[in-house]
Amino acid sequence: MPTRKSMLPPLRRQDLLADKLFRLLTLVCSLAVIGIVVFLLAQLWLESSGTIHKFGAKFLSTNDWDPVNDQYGALPFLYGTLVTSAVALFISIPLGLGLAIFINEMCPLKLRPYVSFLTELLAAIPSVIYGLWAIFVLVPLMRDYFMPFCQRYFGWTHLFGGAPYGIGLGTAGVVLSIMVLPLISSVSRDVMAAVPKHQREAALALGATRWETIRMAIIGNSKSGIFGAIILGLGRALGETMAVTMVIGNVPQVVKSLLAPGDTLASVIANQFSEATGDLYRSALIELGLVLLLMTLVVNAIARLLVWYSVRTAGGARA
């Protein structure tokens, strides 16, 4: 008795086979991506087993970084990474949200594509170019104008103490803010664009001003996605290497002043890995890479979930 599959036309059977092959190919690609991440984590864990076994959790809470005596602590680099990322977000969040609101709600239609293109073009510039620009332009500006101004009027906060060298945590944070600006702006713009049009119309019909419409109907309905965009920008700032390395000063210390030089997880790996001759020295640098990878994975996962939740919620409301 002929089966149902044998009764199908030849073309239909070919389509079913193509669907199965395509499904198998996509499954292999998905598993390959997961396998790469798992492989990276496993390899970094194995290569950093020396410092994991010797220092344990103290590796993250001590600030001794002495390769000569094989004493290693990641606290100065964790501190520098978090401080520079915080400065970057402090600057880029208002700029990114303001730019996203302007492009979506206020920019003329003829001008909108050009503004969007120029904003996204910032993300395509190599980080070493940002570093060179910072050395020749930003560092003199910070040293001669911005840092003396902050010391004069905000020195009581103790955040701007010390000599104004021009390089340091604050300068690295400013460079990072420019680099994460297009990411925060573009993701926020997409999330705001997903807000149903009738939300804006309802707010205007009730007598809301343009600012009230933007604040309640647009930002209020897309705040989860905006927060996800900010967290995504944080993930970008945490892992930046070249531009930060060129202007941060590369000194492993925990200081309160934003004008003082510091170091980050990514910059110390880039600077010292070629000099790591001892096994424990190399293991310490690899463990720094493991910590950085875990931080960026967690931050990006949270950001993606928030953006997905915001777009899904807006899509359901639209339906």
* pLDDT tens column, 74-125: 999 999 999 999 999 999 999 999 999 999 888 888 888 888 888 888 888 8
Proportion of the chain above pLDDT 90, given as a percent: 32
The pTM of this model reads 0.84
Tokens of 197: 């049009």
Coil/strand/helix, residue 208: coil
| pLDDT confidence bin for 140, thresholds 50/70/90 | very high
Chain centroid to CA 291: how far?
Answer: 15
Q: Identify the DSSP state of 164.
A: -
Arithmetic mean of pLDDT, 300-310: 76
Q: How far apart are CA 99 and CA 111, in angstroms?
A: 13
Q: How much is the pLDDT for 80?
A: 93
Task: Name the residue type at position 85.
Answer: S
Tokens of 103: 């492009």
**Tens digits of residue pLDDT in 234-278:** 888 888 888 999 999 888 888 888 888 999 999 999 898 888 888
Write the CA distances from 136 to 2, 3, 129, 141, 166, integer angstroms. 79, 76, 11, 9, 11
With contact defined as beta carbons under 8 Å apart, do 195 and 147 qualify? no
Q: How much is the pLDDT for 218?
A: 86
Q: How far apart are CA 155 and CA 139, in angstroms?
A: 20
Average pLDDT across the chain, whole number: 86
| pLDDT confidence bin for 3, thresholds 50/70/90 | low
With contact defined as beta carbons under 8 Å apart, do 201 and 170 qualify? no
Coil/strand/helix, residue 207: coil
Superfamily of domain 50-318, CATH level 4 = MetI-like (1.10.3720.10)
| pLDDT confidence bin for 177, thresholds 50/70/90 | very high
- Of 102, 101, 306, 105, whose CA–CA distance to 223 is shortest? 306
More confident of the two residues 178 and 109: 178
Q: How far apart are CA 316 and CA 319, in angstroms?
A: 5
Q: How much is the pLDDT for 110?
A: 87
E strand spans, the chain:
none
Q: How much is the pLDDT for 121?
A: 87
Arithmetic mean of pLDDT, 62-73: 87
Q: How much is the pLDDT for 229?
A: 86
Q: How much is the pLDDT for 226?
A: 87
**C-alpha neighbours within 13 Å on the C-beta side of residue 179:** 30
Q: How much is the pLDDT for 311?
A: 64
Q: How far apart are CA 312 and CA 296, in angstroms?
A: 24
Proportion of the chain above pLDDT 70, given as a percent: 92
Q: How far apart are CA 166 and CA 143, in angstroms?
A: 4
| pLDDT confidence bin for 131, thresholds 50/70/90 | very high
Please name the residue that has the structure tokens 């001759």. 277
Q: How much is the pLDDT for 6?
A: 53
User: Residue ranges of the domains in the chain?
Assistant: 10-47, 50-318
Reported residue count of the chain is 319
With contact defined as beta carbons under 8 Å apart, do 187 and 213 qualify? no
| pLDDT confidence bin for 171, thresholds 50/70/90 | very high
Arithmetic mean of pLDDT, 190-216: 84
**C-alpha neighbours within 13 Å on the C-beta side of residue 79:** 22
- Of 270, 255, 252, whose CA–CA distance to 67 is shortest? 252
Q: How much is the pLDDT for 13?
A: 64
Q: How much is the pLDDT for 315?
A: 56
